[in-house]
A and B are shown apart, each in its own frame.
Chain A
Amino acid sequence: MKSAVLGKDLLGLERLSPDQIRLVLDTAEPFKEVSERPIKKVPALRGKTIVNLFFEASTRTRISFEFAEKRLSADTVNVAATGSSVQKGETLVDTAKNLEAMRIDMVVIRHPSSGVAEFLGNRIRSNVINAGDGQHEHPTQGLLDLLTIRDKHGRIEGLKVCLVGDVLHSRVARSNIWGLLKLGAEVGVCGPDTLMPRGIEELGVCRFRRIEEAVEWADVLNVLRLQLERMEKGFIPSLREYYRVFGVTVERLERAPRRLTIMHPGPMNRGVEIDSRVADGSHSVILDQVTNGVAVRMAVLYLLAGGRPELAAAAKRASPPGPLSTSWRGGTTGAPE
């Protein structure tokens, strides 16, 4: 099913328009409130079935999606790659055909190979949401990062946001770059050349090779996770040196000309890419990112299922109680509370 505002699938931020991105962020606002209620459930997706198809372990993304789905009253099934037919050699095409045959409404897919979400989306009628494909994109992470920045700074346009670390292997980095550029931020990338894709500057980002320069330039640092196997594969000589040269530390932040916002998509390697005192300190919005993750994913699910964005717009205009919940009460049988 194709939704009016987001199309059929959410594959990446590269192909969303600035208006579509703003719409998701605006729609997420009223959903934040749902998670603050004593009964954290609205019936928006009642009767919809969603499969969370995870070919790669990811506790936090899967849980965040699952909460979002459950809080929208969807029926969900989790399929983890371990022990499933997928690892017994069933091809992607077979998986797609089987999902289709079960008449599910949406698939949330995480896969270690780039492009698999699009592959699936092209082959089934259900909505497909990319929960991270290889080193390509992780659009809901990008959206929740945007929402968190907007919450903190009141805007995105004109802000300077620097992605620090392993941009080469990071789907989070790609989604952030597209989303930030589309909403008018200036984007920087900082890290050793071994961890930067060739040609990255051509996307319109500033390149920093020294963390000190990035700290001086930026309003926001989004610190990427350094996969520990990068050292084994020879991209960096040692974790120790990485921390010494690129680690985001209190000492470095103290030299910043303005108060920086520190983000991290998690899970963190404390003492590798980020100093614990930074992660837990007052600059950090890392837990806000996690909270916003659920709201953003609710917004994406809601919009892809054909939910009307006007509700969100109305919610932003009015003072509480939000018309969003009013509309739901009016528009569905069986009130959520």
Chain B
Amino acid sequence: MTRPIVLRGGRVIDPSRDFDQTADVLIQDGRIAAVGVGLGAPDEAEVRDVRGGVVAPGLVDIHVHLREPGNEDVETIASGTRAAAAGGFTAVCAMPNTDPVTDNQAAVGFIVRQATLAGLTRVYPIGAISVGQKGEQLSEFGEMVGAGAVAVSDDGKPVVSSHLMRTALEYARTFDIPVADHCEEPTLASGGVMHEGLVAARLGLKGIPAAAEEIMVERDILLAQLTGAHVHLCHVSTRGSVDLIRRAKEQGIRVTAEVTPHHLALTDGACEGYDTHAKMNPPLREAADVAALRAALKEGVIDCVASDHAPHAYDAKEAAFDDAPFGIIGLETAFAVAYTELVESGLFTLPELIARMSTAPAKLLALAGGTLGPAAPADVVVLDVTARWKVDPTLFFSKSRNTPFAGRTLAGRAALTVVGGKVVHEAKARGAPAPAPSP
């Protein structure tokens, strides 16, 4: 058993209990043993002085691509969870567009085993909706849930057939899991490489109109209404989608949604100069969309932040914009981007952001974590929100480097990440003076 840990003197923020005050946190036997002022430390405990830091439930990312099995040269479950730990995440959900596709219980079990071997953050697999993600035949949700899957999704692709989406929702309801959809009407989006708007018109690049997302958002909402099942909308990117989701929630339809840090931070202007690191799907949209997404996240119309961490080979983005793959990595920048854009700008309080990056996503998929409540698993992050650091992808734990934030100075980072009472990441003090030689 690992030694007990006392995190002494930090600002403890636990959105699950509206708790925000200076306190100590005692971690024992892999669980939160106590939160309070002036806690006594057990004899064998490791006492860490975290004054000036923020102690919060570990961050939870419900949308990552770990690329294992199939693309281990760009990421593995081990490297991806190491990156997650560095980003302050204690749990991630792995999307099933692996090679082969994670569409059966054995494949789900493989991911769980690899994650256990890596021993870093928790990994919850998401199973494919359809066999081979081909959009034809439902995969075996029941067995996949038995093996550890927490949701189903064909992410990477939309569910084109409305009939398949309907049956997936109905069948998923049996097992109490949501169906997560990548909303993209394929005939409208076909051939598009960035947001359809003035920047695309100038650059001469084929656009993906906002309507390509919104049509599918509305379809999924209607099907959730029809079936009474829980639909989760991945990486919402347009103000139109926000309006549709708001209306659906007001009607009591079981819809939840996520937004990525990059859609909260960047616009299609980032594609200027044909920067392929700004190529993702859904594409970066306009300033009005960014503003609507931020407001929706604050209100809770959008439930949580998810990174859509999508590693690609180092040279894959060295290509014509048309030919480069979609997607960027995000685990190691997600908190800092969100903190810089939302909290430093004064839009969010820090507890509000932690709620959207920990408590809400954990609750959405009924995962352990997202709380520092009594006897909760000790999934904890200590955040240093005073740290300012320059994004240098060569220092990433991820095997990939494809980020549009390279060179940006961001605020906030994880100083310490604890999963089940075990330290899985500890930031090296950057730029700290070397210890003085003892006399």
Contact of B320 among A113, A174, A197, A200 (CB under 8 A): A113
Contact of B205 among A118, A119, A135, A202 (CB under 8 A): A135
B interface SS class: loop
| Residue B379 CB within 8 A of the other chain | no
Q: How far is the CB of A35 from chain B (nearest CB, A)?
A: 31
Distance between Cα atoms of A44 and B112 in the complex (Å): 69
Q: How large is the interface on A (under 10, 10 to 19, 20 to 34, 35 or more residues)?
A: 20 to 34
| Residue B37 CB within 8 A of the other chain | no
Distance between Cα atoms of A136 and B203 in the complex (Å): 5
Q: Are B202 and A174 in contact (CB under 8 A)?
A: yes
Q: Are B201 and A118 in contact (CB under 8 A)?
A: no
Q: Contact flags (1/0) for A101-123 with B, using CB distance below 8 Å?
A: 00000000001011110110000
Residues of A within 8 A of B96 (CB): none
Distance between Cα atoms of A203 and B200 in the complex (Å): 12
Q: Are A203 and B201 in contact (CB under 8 A)?
A: yes
Residue of B nearest to A134 (CB): B204
| Residue B321 CB within 8 A of the other chain | yes
The B-contacting residues of A in range 182-208, CB under 8 angstroms, are: 197-200, 202-203
Residue of A nearest to B201 (CB): A197
Q: Are B204 and A116 in contact (CB under 8 A)?
A: no
Q: Are A113 and B201 in contact (CB under 8 A)?
A: no
Which of B202, B206, B209 has the most C-beta atoms of chain A within 10 angstroms of its own C-beta? B202
| Residue B273 CB within 8 A of the other chain | yes
Given contacts A133-B204, A199-B201, A203-B201, contact A114 B196 (CB under 8 A): no
Q: Contact flags (1/0) for B202-216 with A, using CB distance below 8 Å?
A: 111111010000000
The B-contacting residues of A in range 117-161, CB under 8 angstroms, are: 118-119, 133-137
Q: Are B274 and A198 in contact (CB under 8 A)?
A: no
| Residue A77 CB within 8 A of the other chain | no
Given contacts A113-B320, A113-B323, A115-B320, contact A198 B315 (CB under 8 A): no
| Residue B20 CB within 8 A of the other chain | no
Q: How far is the CB of A13 from chain B (nearest CB, A)?
A: 12
The A-contacting residues of B in range 292-345, CB under 8 angstroms, are: 315, 318-323
Given contacts A133-B204, A134-B204, A198-B197, contact A114 B321 (CB under 8 A): yes
Q: How far is the CB of A165 from chain B (nearest CB, A)?
A: 16
Contact of A197 among B200, B273, B322 (CB under 8 A): B200
Contact of A199 among B198, B321, B323 (CB under 8 A): B198
Q: Are B204 and A198 in contact (CB under 8 A)?
A: no
Residue of A nearest to B322 (CB): A113
6 contacts between A and B (CB under 8 A): A113-B320, A113-B322, A115-B274, A136-B205, A137-B204, A203-B202
The 10 closest A-B pairs by CB, nearest first: A115-B274, A136-B204, A197-B201, A135-B204, A113-B320, A199-B198, A114-B204, A113-B322, A115-B321, A93-B318
A-binding residues in B (CB < 8 A)? 196-198, 200-207, 209, 273-274, 315, 318-323
16 additional A-B residue pairs with CB within 8 Å, beyond A118-B273, A198-B198, A198-B207: A14-B202, A91-B315, A91-B318, A91-B319, A113-B322, A113-B323, A114-B321, A114-B322, A115-B320, A115-B321, A116-B320, A118-B274, A134-B204, A136-B205, A198-B197, A199-B197
